[in-house]
Amino acid sequence: MALPIPPVGTRAYYKDTKEPGLVFMITGAGATSFQLYMKHEGRPVRVTLGRFSSSMTDSVELPRDCNHKELLANNPDLNVKMARSLAAICKLDIRSGTNPNEVKRAKRAELTLGELFEEYVDRHLTPQKKQVAPARAYFELYVGEIPKNPPGSKRKTRVKLPGCVNWQNRLISSIKTDDIQKLVAGLATKGKSINNANKVLTLLKSMYARAKDWKIYKGDNPTDGVSKFKTKSRERFIQPDEMPRFFESLALESNKDIRDYVVLSLLTGARKSNILAMRWADLNLDRAVWTLPDELTKNGDPLTLPLMPDAVALLSNRKPAKAEVFVFPGVGKSGHLVNARTGWERVLDRDEIIQLGKRINHAGVELKYNFSDPENSGYNYPSVILKKARALAETLQIDTHGARLTDLRPHDLRRALGSWQASSGASLQMIGRSLGHKSQAATAIYSRLNLDPVRQSMETATQNMMTAAGLSKPAEVTSIKSTKGKRKSIA
Q: Which tops the pLDDT comparison, 454 or 118?
A: 118
Q: What is the per-residue pLDDT for 107?
A: 62
Q: Quick one: three-class SS letters along the chain?
A: CCCCCCCCCCEEEEECCCCCCEEEEEECCCCEEEEEEEEECCEEEEEEEEEECCCCCCCCCCCCCCCHHHHHHCCCEECHHHHHHHHHHHHHHHHCCCCHHHHHHHHHCCCEHHHHHHHHHHHHHCCCCCCHHHHHHHHHHHCCCCCCCCCCCCCCCCCCCCCCCCCCCCEHHHCCHHHHHHHHHHHHHCCCCHHHHHHHHHHHHHHHHHHHHCCCCCCCCCCCCCCCCCCCCCCCCCCHHHHHHHHHHHHCCCCHHHHHHHHHHHHHCCCHHHHHCCEHHHEECCCCEEEECHHHCCCCCCEEEECCHHHHHHHHHHCCCCCCCECCECCCCCCECCCCHHHHHHHHHHHHHHHHHHHHHHCCCCCCCCCCCHHHCCCCHHHHHHHHHHHHHHHCCCCCCCCCCCCCCCCHHHHHHHHHHHHCCCCHHHHHHHHCCCCCCCHHHHHHCCHHHHHHHHHHHHHHHHHHCCCCCCCCECCCCCCCCCCCCEC
Instruction: Label residue 419 exposed, middle or buried (CB < 10 Å: 0-12, 13-18, 19+).
Output: buried
- For the chain, what percent of residues have pLDDT higher than 90? 34
Is 490 a residue whose pLDDT tops 60? no
pLDDT band at 450 (very low <50, low <70, confident <90, very high): very low
Q: What is the per-residue pLDDT for 482?
A: 40
Q: Which tops the pLDDT comparison, 19 or 161?
A: 19
Phi-psi region of 288 (alpha: psi -120 to 50; beta: other; left: phi over 0): left
Length of the chain, please?
Answer: 491
Is 444 a residue whose pLDDT tops 50? no
Give, in degrees to the nearest 5, the angle at Cα 203 between 174 and 42. Answer: 100
In whole numbers, what is the pLDDT of the chain averaged over residues?
A: 81
Q: What domains sit in the chain, N to C, each tagged with a CATH number?
A: 11-109 (no CATH), 110-232 (1.10.150), 240-340+410-468 (1.10.443.10), 341-395 (no CATH)
Q: Are 177 and 171 in contact (CB under 8 A)?
A: no
Q: What is the per-residue pLDDT for 69?
A: 77
pLDDT band at 169 (very low <50, low <70, confident <90, very high): confident
Q: What is the per-residue pLDDT for 483?
A: 40
Q: Are 302 and 294 in contact (CB under 8 A)?
A: yes
Is 381 a residue whose pLDDT tops 90? no
Q: Are 150 and 28 in contact (CB under 8 A)?
A: yes
| CA-closest candidate to residue 200, choices 131, 117, 272 | 117
Q: What is the per-residue pLDDT for 238?
A: 76
Q: What is the per-residue pLDDT for 7?
A: 87
Is 438 a residue whose pLDDT tops 50? yes
Averaged pLDDT, 258-286? 89
pLDDT (tens digit, 9 = 90+) per residue, 35-49? 999 988 888 889 999
Is 211 a residue whose pLDDT tops 60? yes
Q: What is the per-residue pLDDT for 445?
A: 31
Q: What is the per-residue pLDDT for 460?
A: 81
Q: Which tops the pLDDT comparison, 284 or 340?
A: 284
Least confident span in 165-169, 252-256, 274-278, 466-470: 466-470
Q: At what angle do helices 428-435 and 412-423 cross, to 10 degrees?
A: 150
Q: What is the per-residue pLDDT for 302?
A: 72
pLDDT (tens digit, 9 = 90+) per residue, 231-248? 665 567 777 788 889 889
Least confident span in 164-173, 265-274, 294-303: 294-303
Q: What is the per-residue pLDDT for 260?
A: 93
Q: What is the per-residue pLDDT for 76?
A: 85
Give, in degrees to the nearest 5, the angle at Cα 449 between 446 and 453. Answer: 125
Q: What is the per-residue pLDDT for 407?
A: 81
